[in-house]
Structure 1
Amino acid sequence: MNIEVARADELGEECRYQISEVLTQGFAEDFAFFSKNAKKLADAFAPMLVLECFHIALVDGKPAAVAAVTEGEQECFRLDRHELQRVLGPLHGLISYRIIQSQFMGSYDDARDGLTEIAFVTTAPQHQGRGVATALMRRLLELPADQFVLRDIKDTNTAALALYTKLGFTETQRRRIKFAKRAGFRAYVSMGLKRAEAGGRRAPGWVRPGSALRFAPLARTLGTSEVQPDGGADQVLGPSVHPPQRGAW
């Protein structure tokens, strides 16, 4: 299996819809409020993606896993109310617009240059359990940041929490939710990793968003023995009665 990692804007507009498919398939249960129709979900999210903020793991040249990477005031979505209403209908599109605006947009209070947030980590169903998300995460940790954060992971998503712990992340906050029995989980977990803990690595040739970026094939860069199947963040758990959060679920 040949895995490469690239930033979405380098792949070009022709890959936008495929990236949206991976994102919305991975979060289908969490995005179910917006639509339970897979094509409609992909149609709704595709125009919103800020491609320079998404990093893609490609398996044999096709998008297989995604993650959003932002720093400071950057946003990974660019909202268009009229486009959402066109795809989802006037009323439902308006409601969805307001939910996405309130839950997915806006920086956190501690946002700053050098603090990189990794969010929306997921893998296409057919590639889950093959270590693709692990390979993607390892590559992201080579980006030149002082600190990495993952926010709002469901406490029931033990596979993702185990993966992030294995990569060196530690829990920084646990935010309990109301109506836990109905929601199917008790708390959102946030995790952090400082540069020294990540080994101080920097990806060769890394540039800030706005310029092209491409990583070498991971099977060569990491060594095939390191690209191993696992459950990790390749699995996304659970429907929730709570509004979708933007964390790495």
Structure 2
Amino acid sequence: MECILEGEIVGILACSNNRRRAMTVDKPSLKQAFGFLKGNLAYDSLDKEFNAPLPFEDETGYIECVATSERARGKGVSTALFKHVMQELPYRNYILEVVDTNSTAIRLYKKLGFEEFKRKREKLSRLKGFKERIYLQWIKG
């Protein structure tokens, strides 16, 4: 799903399910972009994150990615994308993951009605710049 403003894409939201991922990585593209060695290393580190099947029931949509261009932030783009997806897609339950340092996103998700159900401490948190992954869900009423 994308949001277009004045002919420019200013926001995206990717929603996956247990049968198909919205965002995948493939080795040939990574090797072409980064070279043989770095492409293979990138694929090996990203494969499980982006290509593995999701362990959710059929009624669950997984919000895999949300992004808004800098010039469109604060103008309701992400809110509009979420509302459209939550109304139009057939899922009863939506799950997403956010890192603890992304307070702007956490506020948005809670405003939309998402509730925290799990936290997972991150290994190598100093290198990654965050301590925990926070899992939130929204269930259609």
TM over 0.5: yes
CA offset at residue 173 of structure 1? 0.6
Q: Is the 8 A contact 2:99 2:134 kept in 1?
A: yes
1:97 to 43, 49, 53: 43
In the alignment, does 2:90 pair up with 1:144? Answer: yes
Alignment partner of 1:113: what SS? coil
The amino acid of 2:27's aligned partner reads R
Q: Identity percentage over the alignment?
A: 27
Alignment partner of 2:29: what SS? helix
The amino acid of 1:56's aligned partner reads E
In the alignment, does 2:92 pair up with 1:126? Answer: no
Q: How does 1:122-201 map to 2 (within 5 A)?
A: 122-142=67-87, 143-151=89-97, 153-196=98-141
CA distance in 1, matches of 2:124, 2:44: 23
**CA RMSD for the aligned pairs?**
1.6
> Which structure: larger Rg?
1
Alignment partner of 2:49: what SS? helix
Superposed CA deviations along residues 193-223 of structure 1, whole A, max 9, x for unmatched, are 1111xxxxxxxxxxxxxxxxxxxxxxxxxxx
The amino acid of 2:104's aligned partner reads A
CA distance in 1, matches of 2:118, 2:21: 22
- What TM-score comes out, normalization by structure 2 length? 0.90
Higher strand share: 2
1:67 to 13, 21, 25: 13
CA distance in 2, matches of 1:78, 1:183: 21
CA distance in 1, matches of 2:27, 2:126: 33
Q: How does 1:25-104 map to 2 (within 5 A)?
A: 55-104=1-50
Structure 1: stretches of 5+ with no match in the other structure? 1-54, 197-249
The amino acid of 1:122's aligned partner reads A
Q: How does 1:224-239 map to 2 (within 5 A)?
A: none
Give 1:31's aligned residue. Answer: none
- What TM-score comes out, normalization by structure 1 length? 0.53
CA distance in 2, matches of 1:179, 1:86: 29
Give 1:211's aligned residue. Answer: none
- Deviating beyond 4 angstroms after TM superposition, the runs of 4 or more aligned structure 1 residues are none
Q: Is the 8 A contact 2:17 2:54 kept in 1?
A: no
